A and B are shown apart, each in its own frame.
Chain A
């Protein structure tokens, strides 16, 4: 950290603040690009975690870049900037430095109308092109849009829009995404293999994919805006529905964030149970991911087997928490209710059962020559690409990038257990497939170590009837089934947050498709998509 401070102290236009787990750098908007280049190329900040857009009211718009180094992944550095007035809404794009900034900046543009100069493809990302206004601005008029009756007309040859600085003044440039003689096929929004309502426009030549353009927003529910009008306990229920397959983990992130802000001490019993529930959710999610991947390959039987094993976990959730897919179990300060007396017995029965079934799954599918033939050497994602596109989680660990937050920065009871971070080096579809099954095994190990040692005591810390977070900005990351899930809460000290931003691990995964898929077959496109295992509602929020 000293080197960073030393380096930054030579620059006049920045101010640095150090907190215990992160560094905040404030910079003038004109100098963002310059600072970004220094951070990226001199200080080796190669992983752009997230870009958060902010509306500071009369002080203009702001952007917070969260950066991290692969060498020192536990520490986040926030680069803050604000434009100063509402009329001024232009910033330099950092797309050329970090690939993942592409989608993040489009998102900020969509929500706040901040124009990123030199961004290669500055279209709206979630909302329709004919949408009026920028919804996350504080002065957004809710009545300005009605339910659209007609389909959005997206021509095959849709143009991408960019703003470039040319000899000191701005210049709008439009480019065509597809050539006029390309055969463009729409996959989605309603497509059995799109895992939700993703819309991919794919230009193909015979069976081969030439170009691909993802189109999001078919399940954009405006959760971040909704959060601004909800109290903190109410937000939890929206968070569950972001990435419903790792709902408890997302909820865990928000709880941890609020607890950190409030300075609450969570009882150890709650920490243990939270960890077990998280790992059970991870197993359920990976089983479903495995099943869906098999189904996308045409093996429906494997999918049914995956769902069959998943039902056992659903039973555990239902008995203890009272819900199947949405257990609503973590609350700020602990867990909603004590565990059921049968909980420990059921989990203990589940572990050997799952181990046996894992073996069967491997025999049924992993060894199958058709399956391996379809997965091996397909969809290669190198470690460097994984880092720069920001792809985290199992999908990037298959490329050899160690980024498991449970190891890097243990939260709850993860520092009390012994488990391996599964890493592979192939980076192809097969590695991304097998890593999920291996992670199930590791999750079972974690549960095994915790289940006998759940400490006695209270299951939730006392909180006031109304929870108010102190003024400030808080960020918390957890490892969910798809990668690093982040929650950024800006509070003004009231009952409701000022701004909430969720960092979805799936968004960058879909963006990575653009890199991986070209020159593969249509069937591979489906396979690669399934192996990245993205969840669309988490992307669209």
Chain B
């Protein structure tokens, strides 16, 4: 089954990994039932959101250098409109977890994530952020950032080349496109009241 409306320029739907996830996601949304007006409105918002994702400048180690390469002239993530890197977590939409997160850093990362404004996304870049990478067996390394914050996209590599990161960014754009913005905000409100 092909999910409509998730188009990324110059990329075919079949070229992406893990389409099943998006299909399940869309089915879930359909079951909840969204009316047409809200749907269209939500689509416009999602178009805006998916095309303007501002990353937080956050890098702990090696992957940070490749992240710089993504920002530099060769790969140039400005083409996607992602180049407005914000240094303040309040203004950022996505946090690229570039590099190893160790025990001492874990609460700091958690706090940074909490400081970001909703809707926010997390991309785990590199083996370290996905599962501890080369330092898996260490006494002081977190085995994947998903232990402390929810991760939306995993970009494997050690470090991933800039194009791989661009690919991960497009995957995140696709995910944003299928989300229902209003349902999202309700969820976050609910989440907050629970706290």
In the complex, are there CB atoms of A and B closer than 8 Å? yes
Query: Which A residues, 287 to 344, have Cβ-Cβ distances below 8 Å to chain B?
Result: 288, 303-305, 307-308, 310-311, 314, 324-326
Residue of A nearest to B61 (CB): A537
B74 lies within 8 A of A307 (CB): yes
Is the CB of B100 closer than 8 A to any CB of chain A? yes
* CB of A303, distance to nearest CB on chain B (Å): 8
B102 touches A537 (CB 8 A): no
Closest to B109 in A: A190
Q: Does A518 contact B (CB under 8 A)?
A: no
**Which residue of A has the minimal Cβ distance to B111?**
A151
Taken residue by residue from 99 to 135, chain B's Cβ proximity to chain A (1 for < 8 Å, 0 otherwise) reads as: 1101111111011100000000000000000000011
Contact B139 A142 (CB under 8 A): yes
Decide yes or no: A245 and B65 within 8 Å by CB, A221-B102, A307-B73 being known contacts.
yes
B74 contact from A152, A190, A241, A311, Cβ within 8 A: A311
Of A152, A225, A314, the residue contacting B107 (CB under 8 A) is: A152
Contacts of B59 in A (CB 8 A): 196
Do A244 and B62 form a contact, CB below 8 Å, given A127-B104, A147-B147? yes
B104: chain A residues within 8 A (beta carbon): 126-128, 148, 152, 217-218, 220
**Measured between C-beta atoms, what is the minimum distance from A88 to chain B in Å?**
25
Chain A residues closer than 8 Å to B110, beta-carbon distance: 149
For residue A356, which residues in chain B have a CB less than 8 angstroms away from its CB? none
Contact yes or no, B137 A229, CB < 8 A:
yes
- Compute how far the CA of A540 lies from the CA of B139 in the bound complex, rounded to whole angstroms: 14
Contact B103–A537 (Cβ < 8 Å): no
Interface string of B48-66 (1 = CB under 8 A from A): 0000000001111110111
- Chain B nearest CB from A119 CB (Å) reads 22
Give, as a whole number of angstroms, the nearest-CB distance from A345 to chain B: 20
CB <8 Å contact, A226 and B62: no
- CA gap between A147 and B161 in the complex, in Å: 30
A307, B72: Cβ atoms closer than 8 Å: yes
Least CB separation from B142: chain A residue:
A147
Which residues of chain A (190-209) have a CB below 8 Å from chain B?
190-192, 196-197
A93-150 residues with Cβ-Cβ distance < 8 A to B are 126-128, 135, 140, 142, 145, 147-150
Which residues from 71 to 110 on chain B have a C-beta closer than 8 Å to any C-beta of chain A? 72-74, 87, 89, 99-100, 102-108, 110
Interface contact A226-B87, CB-CB below 8 Å: no
| Contact indicator per residue, chain A 253-292, by CB within 8 Å of chain B (1) or not (0) | 0000000000000000000000000000000000010000
- Bound state CA distance, A226 and B142, in angstroms? 14
Is B66 a contact of A222 with CB atoms below 8 Å? no
- The reply to whether the CB of B32 lies closer than 8 angstroms to some CB of chain A is no
Q: A238 contacts the other chain (Cβ, under 8 Å)?
A: yes
Give Cα A379–Cα B98 distance, bound, in whole angstroms: 31
Contacts of A470 in B (CB 8 A): none
Given contacts A189-B108, A197-B105, A221-B135, A308 and B74 within 8 Å (CB-CB): yes
The 8 Å CB contact of A241, one of B62, B102, B108, is B62
B140 proximal to A (CB < 8 A): yes
Q: Which residue of A lies closest to B105 (CB)?
A: A218
Chain A residues within an 8 Å CB radius of B158 = 326
20 additional contacts (CB under 8 A) given A226-B135, A308-B72: A140-B139, A148-B107, A149-B110, A150-B107, A197-B60, A218-B60, A218-B104, A218-B105, A219-B61, A219-B100, A221-B138, A221-B141, A222-B135, A222-B141, A225-B138, A226-B137, A324-B66, A324-B161, A325-B159, A537-B61
Q: B residues within 8 Å of A by Cβ?
A: 57-62, 64-66, 68-69, 72-74, 87, 89, 99-100, 102-108, 110-112, 134-135, 137-142, 147-148, 158-159, 161
> What are 24 A-B contacts defined by CB distance under 8 Å?
A126-B104, A128-B103, A128-B104, A147-B142, A148-B106, A149-B107, A151-B107, A192-B57, A196-B60, A219-B100, A221-B100, A221-B138, A221-B141, A226-B135, A238-B134, A241-B62, A303-B72, A311-B72, A311-B73, A324-B161, A326-B158, A536-B61, A537-B99, A540-B102
